[in-house]
Amino acid sequence: MQDSDPPLSALATPTRPAARVALVGTGSIAELAHLPALRALGPRVDLVSVVDTDAGRLADFAARHAIPAARASVDEMLALDRPDLVHLCTPPAAHAPDAVRCLAAGAWVLIEKPPARSLAEYDRIAAAEGPSGPYASVVFQHRFGAAGLRLARLARAGTLGRALVAQCVTAWYRGPAYYEVPWRGRWETEGGGPTMGHGIHQMDLMLAVLGEWDEVRAVTATLDRPVETEDVSAAVVRFASGAVATVLNSVLSPREESYLRFDFTRASVEVRHLYGYRDADWTFTPAPDAAPTGAAAAWADQGTDIPSSHTAQLAHLVGAWERGERPPLSGAEGRAALELITAIYRSAATGLPVRRADLGPHDPFYHRLDGGGASGGDGSGVDLGAAKHAPRLSHDAAAARICVHAAGTELLRYHYRPAIDPFECPAPYFHPLRTLSGGVVTTHRPHDHRWHKGLAMTASHLSGQNFWGGVSYVHGAPNGGYVVLPNVGRLEHDGFAEPDGTGLGFTESVDWVTAAGERVLREERRVRVVDVDPDEGHWTLEFDTALRNVSGRTLEFGSPTVAGRELAGYTGFFWRGPRSFAGGRILAGGGLEGPAVMGRTAPWLGYTGSFDDRDGQATLLFRAAPDTPGGDPHWFVRAEPFAAVNPSLAFFEALELPADETLARRYRLTVADGAWDRAAIEAHLSGRPW
């Protein structure tokens, strides 16, 4: 809702004939909330039909409320009564299919909360909307009380200062008898517990005030009620603005209360109520040391006291229908609370923080809030059992970091704009990389080479420039030829083509800039995490790079070996292992093994090392694409005095890259728990052609 939303009084004059309304469901929410709201709108609406599958209850409801038509199904009602607006007051499992039917028939829809059992179902509803209507809107009446609207408006305008801290509490009591209704407390029919069915109103109002959330950490529990779902949840939510909120949802609380508190730099604003508020339920407390800002006066300018209610929201909805405009709480706005709820369930189930980018169709929690079941249940064909292990990407823009989690483990962190000493060649890098069991297989800034950082794209020699970091090799120079030169460049992140990816990876632009500030290469790198197999204990990182020469002259990739040092041909995609991996086992294609692999060509190289801080070993399997120009790469590999692997771009001979041409390479790195022998490696590769 925007600042230009009309006040309730402005919606009182209809601009179209009365909206023909149908009511689906005859339970208490229809009788106690929707019917009074429809009556309050008087001549602007005409209740023409009611639907229920229970014939006796349907006939009684229609007779008591003088509703002209009583129908046994939604399809019958749509065909015979042709409504403009349909109120869905049915259990959650019926919302999505009925909403889609109504929209297809040209009717607007008002859906009781929760609007759907999953984001997948909600997105089916949204996809059925037309570009200029009909629309589906969600019942979140707490947004529409005068005080709630005023608070959201003042927060957007900055009148109260910056939002800092919030509390969102739905502490209700629902005894065992409440759950005797068959569809309650079950994932399949209700979709969730109090997080989904009770706290959703308070969370929606919190979102109206604080805006988009950024990260969620949560726990859920089933402490007392005889249900499949949770009966309590707690979460910490970090918002895009930086504000932090705590959220509690409970059906175990004998003293019932709904409570929201917002602490801004200039004031605290609170509301205590149960199922709806008036202005008198709110408290405004200015900051003790705040200079006069007009915040208190703006809050005190209350105008008409409009309680939060279905009546208040319905007035806005019908007003939008009369004007032919998208109504509040439809589309993305109506989805926001369900998205936050999905993040709470996902975080609680996985034990991991959740960001918005994690919640796409690739994720099992997008399809069911318990993340389980045999299939997506919505025709998506998603295998939720397998999807539980799918990689999930999160992007922390403030920290300039991307993380990928799978099967309960953080598999990698990618630092794309790190703060690094210029001598160490600032550049994006991966660290840590982990096995699925959590073993770290990279190191960062080891004492012998501070410029070694996990796994990174490098160039030790590029037309006299050092994109490796540290000292440069000059044949015949003292100290073994390694000297400090003013030639260390940097790799600068220049944006993502897919900022948050699809949950599987990302595509990044990187500029290679010399020590003098000249951009010589424009790199496009594509990163994906694939083939995650918890049963077999391995996952694979795909790294594709395309380096375009933008210097206007031919560039030459080299290495210390090209410059004259024996068997030191490192340059390109470089991995540095943990200290404990020293002395590990080296295997390569073609029957090669051990130190003899150094400088040889092979389609693959495997390195097995042991952990210091935990029992066990890990194997890293490196491959270059079979279409690599020039054939299989020459491998730079060491087990002593430290573990390192690099499919070199220029081991023995320089590689020239003419102006405006592109050097492309594709690599795969499989990270596996355990020690893989040659037979295990070859069996793995035989089933996974490039």
159's CB contacts (< 8 A; 6+ apart) are 266, 293, 294, 295, 298
- Rounded average pLDDT over 378-394: 54
Rg (CA), the chain: 31
Of the listed ranges 18-27, 227-236, 285-294, 670-679, the one predicted with least confidence: 285-294
More confident residue, 496 or 68: 68
> Cβ distance 203 to 140 under 8 Å?
no
The single-letter code of the amino acid at 532 is V
Q: Give Cα 462 distance to the centre of its chain.
A: 38
Model confidence at 375: pLDDT above 70: no
Distance CA 571, CA 322 (A): 67
Cα 541 to Cα 454: distance, rounded to the nearest angstrom: 14
Residue 139, pLDDT score: 98
What mean pLDDT comes out for the span 335-347? 96
Mean pLDDT of the region 644-655: 98
Residue closest to 671 by CA, chosen among 442, 401, 408: 442
Looking at the structure, give the CATH architecture of the domain made up of residues 402-686: Distorted Sandwich (2.70)
pLDDT at 232: 97
Indicate if the pLDDT at residue 239 is higher than 60: yes
Percent helix / strand / coil, the chain, rounded to 5: 25, 35, 40
pLDDT score of 390: 59
Mean pLDDT, residues 410-417:
96
Least confident of 161-175, 348-362, 428-442: 348-362
Q: Residue 371's pLDDT band (boundaries 50, 70, 90)?
A: confident
CB–CB of 248/170 below 8 Å? yes
| Cis? peptide before 286, omega within 30° of 0 | no
Residue 537 scores a pLDDT above 60 = yes
**pLDDT tens-digit profile of 449-488?**
999 999 999 999 999 999 999 999 999 999 899 999 999 9
Sheet holding 232-239, edge to edge: 282-286, 267-273, 252-264, 163-173, 244-250, 232-239, 213-221, 354-355
| pLDDT higher than 50, residue 1 | no
Question: From CA 647, how far away is CA 297, in angstroms rounded?
Answer: 68
Average pLDDT over residues 592-611: 98
| Residues 675-690: tens digit of each pLDDT | 999 999 999 999 888 8
Q: Is the pLDDT of residue 302 over 80?
A: no
User: What is the distance between the alpha carbons of residues 415 and 403, in angstroms, rounded to a whole number?
Assistant: 9
- SS3 of residue 422 by DSSP: helix
Would you tell me which CATH number, out of the four given (3.40.718.10, 1.10.540.10, 3.40.50.720, 3.40.50.150), belongs to the domain 8-140+312-332? 3.40.50.720
Q: What is the pLDDT of residue 503?
A: 47
- pLDDT of 3: 38
> For the residues 100-124, what does the mean pLDDT come to?
97
Buried b (16+ CB within 10 A) or exposed e, 170-181: bbbebeeeebee
Q: Comparing 86 with 398, which gets the higher pLDDT?
A: 86
What are the extents of the domains in the chain? 8-140+312-332, 143-311, 402-686
For residue 278, pLDDT over 50 is answered with yes
Angstrom CA distances, 110 to 42, 103, 115, 311, stand at 18, 11, 9, 12
Mean pLDDT calculated for residue range 308-336: 97
- Alpha helix stretches (DSSP H) within 17-145: 28-29, 35-40, 55-64, 74-81, 95-104, 119-127
- Residue 9 pLDDT exceeds 80: no
Q: Is the pLDDT of residue 317 over 50?
A: yes
Per-residue pLDDT, 15: 65
380 pLDDT above the threshold of 50 = no
Which two three-digit tokens encode residue 86?
A: 């349909």
pLDDT-derived band of residue 13, with 50, 70 and 90 as boundaries? low
Quote the pLDDT of residue 14: 58
Nearest-5° Cα angle at 221, 218 to 222: 155
- In sequence order, what are the beta bridge partners of 217? 236
pLDDT score of 396: 82
- Please state the rounded mean pLDDT for residues 183-206: 95
Three-state secondary-structure class, residue 542: strand
Q: By C-alpha distance, which of 441, 461, 485, 368 is closest to 649?
A: 461
Q: How confident is the model at residue 405 (pLDDT cuts 50, 70, 90)?
A: confident
Question: What band does 350 get if pLDDT is binned at 50, 70 and 90?
Answer: confident
More confident residue, 574 or 363: 574
Kindly give, in sequence order, each residue whose CB lies less than 8 Å from that of residue 335, ignoring residues fewer than 6 positions away: 119, 122, 123, 126
Percent of the chain with pLDDT over 90: 83
* β-strand pairing of 45-51 with 19-24: parallel
User: Percent of the chain, pLDDT > 70?
Assistant: 94
- Fold held by 143-311: Dihydrodipicolinate Reductase; domain 2 (3.30.360)
Res 201 pLDDT > 50: yes
- Computed over every residue of the chain, the mean pLDDT equals 92
b/e string for 331-356 if b means 16 or more Cβ within 10 A?
bebbbbbbbbbbbbbbbbbbebbbbb
At 675 the pLDDT is 98
pLDDT at 687: 82
* Mean pLDDT within 160-182: 96
Compare 652 and 374 and report the one with higher pLDDT. Answer: 652
DSSP states of 125-138: HHHTS-BTB--EEE
pLDDT band with cut points at 50, 70 and 90 for residue 596 = very high
If pLDDT is split at 50, 70 and 90, which confidence band does 377 have? very low
In this prediction, residue 497 has a pLDDT band, given cuts at 50, 70 and 90, of: confident
The per-residue pLDDT for 16 is 83
Residue 374 in this model has a pLDDT that exceeds 90: no
> What per-residue confidence (pLDDT) applies to 569?
98
Mean pLDDT of 430-441: 97
DSSP string, 576-601: E--GGGTT-EEEEGGGEEGGGGTT-B
Res 398: pLDDT: 84
414-431 mean pLDDT = 97
Overall average pLDDT of the 33-48 stretch: 97
pLDDT band at 292 (very low <50, low <70, confident <90, very high): low
Say what the pLDDT of residue 67 is.
98
Q: Across the strands, what pairs with 396?
A: 401
